[in-house]
């Protein structure tokens, strides 16, 4: 049983997406006060525990917006215990057809986002972490694409590999500076969200599969555990990593992939 997050304040980016929504709800259910953030002007109608959360419009590629978001959380709550970088995009394209603009946009959301957010939040999270038994906690949702390669994903793999090492370097630096902030990454494989539907559609368009249905049918057996992940599988791993139960996890990569990369 993972401990309660009562009294903790959490910021979750990408909170209107398939995985971010469930992470935000899961942290709220564990007792955290959740601030959800996404690029959209307003939040969709959330139900359950997440309905109690506040919402911030935040483009994670915008440094000023990050500074404003953290200043507002400091003013409203005076602390930030948990930061989960979930916002991300995927470009599914052959290398030869990938434009520099697509490459840069993907890097901006997937890499600049965690960089700018971690930079903006570090002082407040160090202040908050100083009074916690195991410090405050940052989690970046990377991917198995940050560990292994995949066709049509050259830029995505580069971006997810970049944040894996960014997290480890932040962990080393925060410890060297005696700032009590734990930093870890999570590496999911296929998770049932709109992102996977889009990836399958692109594989069909590029001639890898005859139909989206057949592409999706191949996903479950590709995972030794026999199914793709549900967003809650990733949310449970986040909830563990940000809790005091994971107080000794720092600079680590938690692979949540149903055995996909163990083959
Ligand atoms: N779905 C999967 O199979 C899978 C697997 C491994 C890793 N991931 C990663 O998990 C994360 C969430 O993926 P998902 O499946 O929920 O995708 P999703 O498309 O459902 O959600 C992504 C969210 O990010 C938001 N976003 C995009 N650009 C933004 C910006 N500039 N500023 C703020 N928010 C922005 C979108 O609005 C959306 O709400 C991503 O980082 C993705 O790379 C997903």
Tell me, in angstroms, the distance from the centre of ligand 1 to residue 174's CA.
26
Q: How confident is the model at residue 46 (pLDDT cuts 50, 70, 90)?
A: low
Number of domains in the chain: 2
Question: Which ligand 1 atom sits closest to the C-alpha of 90?
Answer: 43
Is residue 127 one of the residues assigned to a domain? yes
Same domain, 137 and 17: yes
Choice from 41, 83, 88, 222 to test ligand 1 binding pocket (greatest atom count within 8 A of CB)? 88
pLDDT at 42: 80
Is residue 2 one of the residues assigned to a domain? no
Same domain, 118 and 100: yes
Q: Using CA positions, which residue lies closest to atom 41 of ligand 1?
A: 88
Catalytic residue at 156?
yes
**Does 146 contact ligand 1 (Cβ within 6 A)?**
no
Question: Which ligand 1 atom sits closest to the C-alpha of 229?
Answer: 3
Tell me, in angstroms, the distance from the centre of ligand 1 to residue 199's CA.
12
Same domain, 122 and 52: yes
Same domain, 124 and 13: yes
Cβ 4 vs Cβ 214: under 8 Å: no
Same domain, 145 and 246: yes
Tell me, in angstroms, the distance from the centre of ligand 1 to residue 14's CA.
6
- pLDDT tens profile 104-157: 999 999 999 999 999 999 999 999 999 999 999 999 999 999 999 999 999 999
pLDDT at 44: 67
Is residue 61 one of the residues assigned to a domain? yes
pLDDT at 41: 86
Examine the pLDDT at 47 and tell me if it is beyond 70. Answer: no
Examine the pLDDT at 1 and tell me if it is beyond 60. Answer: no
Is residue 262 one of the residues assigned to a domain? no
Work out the angle at residue 141's Cα, subtended by the Cα atoms of residues 135 and 145, and round it to the nearest 5 degrees: 140
Full residue range of the structural domain in which residue 184 is found: 9-189+231-256
Same domain, 218 and 176: no
Same domain, 138 and 29: yes
Examine the pLDDT at 23 and tell me if it is beyond 90. Answer: yes
Question: Which ligand 1 atom sits closest to the C-alpha of 88?
Answer: 41
Same domain, 100 and 212: no
pLDDT at 133: 96
Which of the residue ranges 48-57, 88-97, 170-179 would you say has the lowest mean pLDDT?
A: 48-57
Alpha-carbon Rg for the chain, nearest whole angstrom, is: 18
Same domain, 219 and 240: no
Examine the pLDDT at 57 and tell me if it is beyond 90. Answer: yes
Is residue 1 one of the residues assigned to a domain? no
- pLDDT tens profile 211-238: 999 999 999 999 999 999 999 999 999 9
Examine the pLDDT at 50 and tell me if it is beyond 80. Answer: no
Same domain, 136 and 224: no
Same domain, 148 and 171: yes
- pLDDT tens profile 162-194: 999 999 999 999 999 999 999 999 999 999 999
Same domain, 138 and 28: yes
163, 165, 176, 2: which is closest to 84 by C-alpha?
A: 163
Is residue 4 one of the residues assigned to a domain? no
Q: What is the mean pLDDT of the chain?
A: 95
Tell me, in angstroms, the distance from the centre of ligand 1 to residue 130's CA.
31
**Does 16 contact ligand 1 (Cβ within 6 A)?**
yes
CATH number at residue 44: 3.40.50.720
Structure tokens at 58: 């935040």
Examine the pLDDT at 259 and tell me if it is beyond 80. Answer: yes
Is residue 152 one of the residues assigned to a domain? yes
- In angstroms, the CA 30 to CA 189 distance is 25
Is residue 261 one of the residues assigned to a domain? no
Q: How confident is the model at residue 48 (pLDDT cuts 50, 70, 90)?
A: low
């Amino acid at each position: 049983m993972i401990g309660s997050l009562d009294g903790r304040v959490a910021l979750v980016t990408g909170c209107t997406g398939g995985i971010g929504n469930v992470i935000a709800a899961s942290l709220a259910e564990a007792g955290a006060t959740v601030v959800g953030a996404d690029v959209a002007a307003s939040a969709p109608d959330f139900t359950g525990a997440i309905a109690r959360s506040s919402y911030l419009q935040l483009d994670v590629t915008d440094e000023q917006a990050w500074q404003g978001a953290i200043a507002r959380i400091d003013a409203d709550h005076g602390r930030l215990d948990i930061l989960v970088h979930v916002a991300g995009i995927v470009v599914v394209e052959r290398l030869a057809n990938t434009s520099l603009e697509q490459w840069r946009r993907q890097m901006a959301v997937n890499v600049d986002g965690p960089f700018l957010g971690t930079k903006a939040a570090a002082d407040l999270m160090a202040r908050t972490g100083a009074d916690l038994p195991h410090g405050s906690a940052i989690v970046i949702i990377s991917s198995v694409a940050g560990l292994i390669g995949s066709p049509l994903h050259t830029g995505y793999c580069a971006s997810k590999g970049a944040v894996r090492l960014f997290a480890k370097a932040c962990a080393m630096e925060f410890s060297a500076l005696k700032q009590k902030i734990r930093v870890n990454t999570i590496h999911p494989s296929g998770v049932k969200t709109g992102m996977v539907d889009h990836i399958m559609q692109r594989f069909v368009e590029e001639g890898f599969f005859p139909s989206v249905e057949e592409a999706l049918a191949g996903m479950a057996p590709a995972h030794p555990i026999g199914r793709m992940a549900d967003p809650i599988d990733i949310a449970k791993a986040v909830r563990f990593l940000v809790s005091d139960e994971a107080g000794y996890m720092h600079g680590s990569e938690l692979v949540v992939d149903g055995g996909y990369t163990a083959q």
